[in-house]
Amino acid sequence: MPGAPRPTAIHVDRAQCMGSGMCIMYAANTFAHDDETKAVVIDIDGDSLEALHNAVEACPTGALALVYESEGV
Amino acid sequence: MTSTNPILDLDRVREIFDLAGSYLVWTGGKYRDDPYPLWHDLRQRAPVQPGVVHQLMGVTDDIGFHGLPEPDREHFSAFSWAACDAAYRDPETFASSPEPVDVESGQATITNSLLSMGGAQHRRYRALVQPSFGPARARWWIENWIDQTVHALIDCFEAQGRAELNVEFCAAIPVLTITGSFGVPVDQALDIRETVSRQPDALIEIIKPIVAARREHPQNDLISVLTHSEVSDEEGATHRLSDAEIYSFSLLLLAAGSGTTWKQMGIALTAMLSRPEVLAAVAADRNLLRPAIEETMRWMPTDPMFSRWLAQDAELEGQHLPKGSVLHMCIGAANRDPARWDRPDEYDISRPLKPTFGFGGGPHVCLGQHVARAEMTVGINALLDRLPGLRLDPDAEPPTFGGLYERGATAIPVVFG
Ligand code: HEM
Ligand code: SF4
């Protein structure tokens, strides 16, 4: 998706995150697990937009959301 | 052929892992047709419809899997991506069990476990075991168990110039990986695999002393992690796994992690070996192995159906599902839904990567998926490294796929060198 805007933030709902590691599978340069096996963002520009969409879609508990600054501001 | 394998009795492995043999008849091991054209027809007729997957396919044998037979309930089957996705994302409505799970005082069975839990119980229990199965933990599994198993198996046939990879390789790796992680010696590994579905108590007798020993003196293995891991709940109370919980979990791991990875690796190898240009491309550029494995998970997941129990009435893609009924999610069909994939029946490793249901979805998504990927990746890479010229044996019957609820390759005869 060349030219599509990139998210300005990625929201991880820690209460929802079950530590499945699927986001890391699809976007390994963006996500990692902290020492509670919860997802954290290590580099928001680490992966392609497609990879981020895959991570969000694959998350088994819907814990991830891409945030675009222009939205609702 | 007599067994010369120093680490495993291959004749016994062959018997246990014969897809059409007595061990696998229940899940449709005799099935030899291609189910995909039928699944396309069924999806086209209705994405969700009354009936059981194999019966809708015209199979009248008395076979079953997760969520079957359940003769006293109404049954429905889902064939589209959208329908399976909606069910996976709503675990409160689409529950993994019709009744609460009681590991502590209930019977030790494969389903009286994590697999069937719901809500907070599932969350707490899964949080205890999840840390040992994350992507970052794959290296731990590889260095401790996978690498040495893979190379020991190749040592057995490397000099012979030929092998039957389905049993001599794919079947053995997952069993030895999981039993190795339990701290069980190799000569007991097959006893365990053989009894796991019929006499779960026999496994518990083998595991019991190991659990007791690891509670005293932890070692670098999975049982030690399980005996010592702690998790805090919302109220701040810490939990550890009880002995009964560890037994139940060990049983589930063996049942869920050995037959599946065996057959999925066999499917991956068969898909590549039957397409020499794909195999050559992967051999030359190992970065292609990942898309090849992911495409295998989409194109032919070994377990094409899992089930959910309706905790309340629901509508799914226009079909009313009453409370108490069972929904069979045909993830094999969902993974080839033309609404999501172009040319869905083609095995094409150049497709853009996209989530599939090969490892399921929702909160019960496969716990062992990163271990399974590590086993398949390390295994196939080692074959490509050590067996130059690897190809299907031109003088043998080419591999075919069989099984209905547990699909796999019949045999994978190869030559090399
Ligand atoms: C390629 C091989 C594998 C495939 C295709 C596979 C597939 C699946 C699927 C589809 C589910 C979801 C079941 C449902 O929705 O009810 C599942 C769950 C599970 N798998 Fe796997 N699996 C594989 C390998 C493994 C391995 C190697 C292990 C363990 C080492 C494992 C352990 C589990 C466990 C414990 C669950 C239950 C998770 C829960 O209920 O929270 N699997 N697997
Ligand atoms: S995919 Fe979702 S549940 Fe899994 S680790 Fe990432 S955020 Fe957590």
Residue ranges covered by each domain of chain A: 9-67
pLDDT score recorded for residue B108 = 76
Which segments in chain B show pLDDT lower than 70? 1-24, 195-198, 234
Count of C-beta atoms within a 10 Å radius of residue B60: 8
pLDDT score recorded for residue A1 = 53
Candidates B370, B371, B376, partner chain A, best to mutate (most A CBs within 10 A): B370
Q: Note whether A58 contacts B355, CB cutoff 8 Å.
A: yes
Q: Which of B134, B353, B355 sits opposite A37 (nearest CB)?
A: B134
List residues bridging with B392 in a β-sheet: B414
pLDDT score recorded for residue A22 = 98
Q: Note whether A18 contacts B88, CB cutoff 8 Å.
A: no
Percent of chain A having pLDDT more than 70? 92
Structure tokens at B229: 């891991």
Rounded Cα gap, residues B357 and B252, in angstroms: 20
ipTM of the predicted structure?
0.93
Q: Which chain A residues touch B if contact means CB-CB below 8 Å?
A: 18-22, 24-26, 28, 32-33, 37, 50-51, 54, 57-58, 60-62
Q: Note whether B134 contacts A24, CB cutoff 8 Å.
A: yes
Q: Note whether B130 contacts A20, CB cutoff 8 Å.
A: yes
Helices (H), B229-304: 243-257, 259-273, 276-284, 289-299
> pLDDT tens digits for B34-55?
999 999 999 999 999 999 999 9
Please, are residues B117 and B99 in contact by the beta-carbon 8 Å criterion?
A: no
Q: Walk along chain A (73 residues) in steps of 10 and give the mean pLDDT of each run.
A: 83 96 98 95 97 98 92 51
Q: Residue B38: which H helix or E strand, with range?
A: helix B36-45
pLDDT score recorded for residue B21 = 59
Contacts of A60 in chain B (CB under 8 A): 88, 361-365
Please give, rounded to a whole number of angstroms, the shortest distance from the CA of B311 to a CA of chain A. Answer: 19
Q: Which of A21, A51, A54 sits opposite B134 (nearest CB)?
A: A21
Question: What beta strand segments (E) does B107-237 contain?
Answer: 162-164, 230-232
b/e sequence B347-382, b meaning 16+ C-beta within 10 Å: bbbebeeebbbbbbbbbbbbbbbbbbbbbbbbbbeb
Q: What is the CATH number of the domain that holds B366?
A: 1.10.630.10
Q: Which of B127, B361, B369 sits opposite A19 (nearest CB)?
A: B127
The CATH number of the structural domain formed by A9-67 is: 3.30.70.20
For ligand 2, atom 4, the nearest C-alpha belongs to: A20
pTM: 0.94
Q: Which domain holds residue B343?
A: 10-415
- Residue B4, in any domain of the structure: no
- Residue B2, in any domain of the structure: no
Rg of chain A over CA atoms, in angstroms?
12
| Cα-Cα-Cα-Cα dihedral sign, residues A55, A59, A64, A70 | positive
Rg of chain B over CA atoms, in angstroms?
21
Q: Is B255 exposed, middle or buried (0-12, 13-18, 19+ CB in 10 A)?
A: buried
Residue for token digits 């992911």?
B294
- Overall domain count for chain B: 1
Binding-site residues, ligand 2, Cβ < 6 A: A 12, 17-23, 39, 59-61, 63-64
